[in-house]
Amino acid sequence: MINIIAVRAVLEPQALAAGLLGEVLAGRNLNEVLSDLWRREPDLPPRVRGAVQDLSFGALRFFSRLDFLLQALITRPITHEGVRCLLLVSLYQLIYSKTRPYAVVDRAVESARGMDAPWAAGFVNGVLRNFLRSKEELLARAEGFEPARYSHPQWWIDRLRQDYPDAWEAILEANNSHPPMTLRVNRRQMEPEQYLALLKENELEAEMLEGGALRLKKPVGVDKLPRFAAGAVSVQDQGAQSAAHFLDLAPGQRVLDACAAPGGKAAHILETADVLLAALDKDEARLKRVAENFARLNLKGRLIAGDAAEPQSWWDGKPYDRILADVPCSASGVVRRHPDIKWLRRPSDLAQFATTQRTILAALWRLLAPGGKLLYATCSLFHEENDDIVTDFVASHPDAKRLPLSGLSGGQLLPSAAHDGFFYALLEKSI
């Protein structure tokens, strides 16, 4: 593990966040590096944890804008990655946080003193003070460079502009917003209206969205949600909650949730109807999370460790009435929850995902009973992973018919204040 910043005496959130940023830019997943930090520092106060998370997420959310500004402030490349990341985090604070500028600069200088670079403190002080003197001019300059203006890689911007000529700017703006915290009420225990009243009793403000999802005004830890441990409610995006509704479930059906981990959609299926559910995932460790979710919600389903692309290794030969093919994808529809994705993905990844998606869809189709329905799902926005896959599949499979989805033209949910970005296509197999 890369330990970029050596300042550990006071566990300064700014320095810790800079270290996390460096690890992500080196190719690691943000959730992984955060988990590693929590394990290394189990005694971090909640205030520090919250600050570290906010700073690391924020710096990644606006990374290309911050990097543009930093390049405008220096005359030669910064060869010390720790100094670079500390400056990026500090610029984020100076632009987006409520912390007083002098406090941001002072803490950054103090963090720089703990590095293995004697010149770092003076350099950091000079760069940040220069930024404060030229802030408005530099921010205006950033607006003229698309990756800085929209804080996305240029290839990402170009692809969205191609796929959504009338909506690409709104999508980019939504991607840089804070995601909502949305709840799914377990209707085996209570109705959404009842849980909404329970939230009010606990002084938690929320509103009901279409389909019965509840959106909290302010995010809270799950320990603050009434009856969470008893299985009354789960955290799940409104868009993700659409899957169970689109499947057209009925009691007694054999249902397969392929690529099921961590189990949110599988649990929702079991909450919706008395079906015989098999939850499949090739990662046995992630299947444990499905089991944990089922246990908390008092649900029962069969867990299968296996690859959706290779059903011959795990399928019992009995066809399924319903299949949810929630396939691996770029996750371009959920980048506001995972801002590191923007900087870890490459254009070539889309073609690789598309190959996997085509393979899985073809493999699962053979498992579907005549008259059965398969729901193809991704949390992607790119046509290459979505409509292109389904259109080609239907064209090459005469026994496949694409069915309309109520309230969802073209199958694409774009990120909004209510939900993340998802794609759904419901296919019916002819009898």
**pLDDT tens profile 155-175:** 999 999 999 999 999 999 999
- Strand pairing partners for 425? 376
Look at residue 327 in the predicted model and tell me its pLDDT. 97
Mean pLDDT of 263-271: 97
**C-alpha separations of 66 from 72, 133, 157, 229 in Å:** 10, 16, 17, 40
Where do the domains of the chain lie, and which CATH numbers do they carry? 13-151 (1.10.940.10), 182-235 (3.30.70.1170), 242-429 (3.40.50.150)
- Strand pairing partners for 408? none
- List all residues 6 or more positions away from 229 whose beta carbon is below 8 Å from its beta carbon: 296
How many other CB atoms are there within 10 angstroms of residue 338's CB atom?
Answer: 18
pTM above 0.85, yes or no: yes
Look at residue 2 in the predicted model and tell me its pLDDT. 37
Q: Could you read off the pLDDT of 280-333 as tens digits, one per residue?
A: 999 999 999 999 999 999 999 999 999 999 999 999 999 999 999 999 999 999
Which has the closest alpha carbon to 427: 354, 381, 370? 370
Provide Rg for the chain, Cα atoms.
24
259 is catalytic: no
Tokens of 316: 């019992």
Separation CA 209–CA 213 (nearest Å): 5
pLDDT surpasses 60 at 8:
no
Mean pLDDT of 36-42: 93
Separation CA 107–CA 100 (nearest Å): 11
Which has the closest alpha carbon to 159: 355, 346, 370, 301? 346
| Strand, coil or helix: 228 | coil
Give residue 11's pLDDT band: very low, low, confident or very high (50, 70, 90): low
Tokens of 247: 């499947």
pLDDT surpasses 90 at 7:
no
Which has the closest alpha carbon to 146: 157, 131, 134, 159? 157
* Average pLDDT along the chain: 95
Q: Could you read off the pLDDT of 184-211 as tens digits, one per residue?
A: 999 999 999 999 999 999 999 999 999 9
Which has the closest alpha carbon to 365: 328, 402, 337? 402
Task: Say if CB 305 and CB 350 are below 8 A apart.
Answer: no
Task: Say if CB 174 and CB 204 are below 8 A apart.
Answer: no
Which has the closest alpha carbon to 68: 146, 14, 170? 146
The single residue of 85, 259, 329, 379 carrying the catalytic annotation is 379
Look at residue 4 in the predicted model and tell me its pLDDT. 45
Rounded to the nearest 5°, which phi and psi values hold at 315? -75, 140
Identity of the residue numbered 404: P
Diameter over CA atoms, the chain: 75
Pick from 1-5, 98-102, 149-153, 352-356: least confident: 1-5
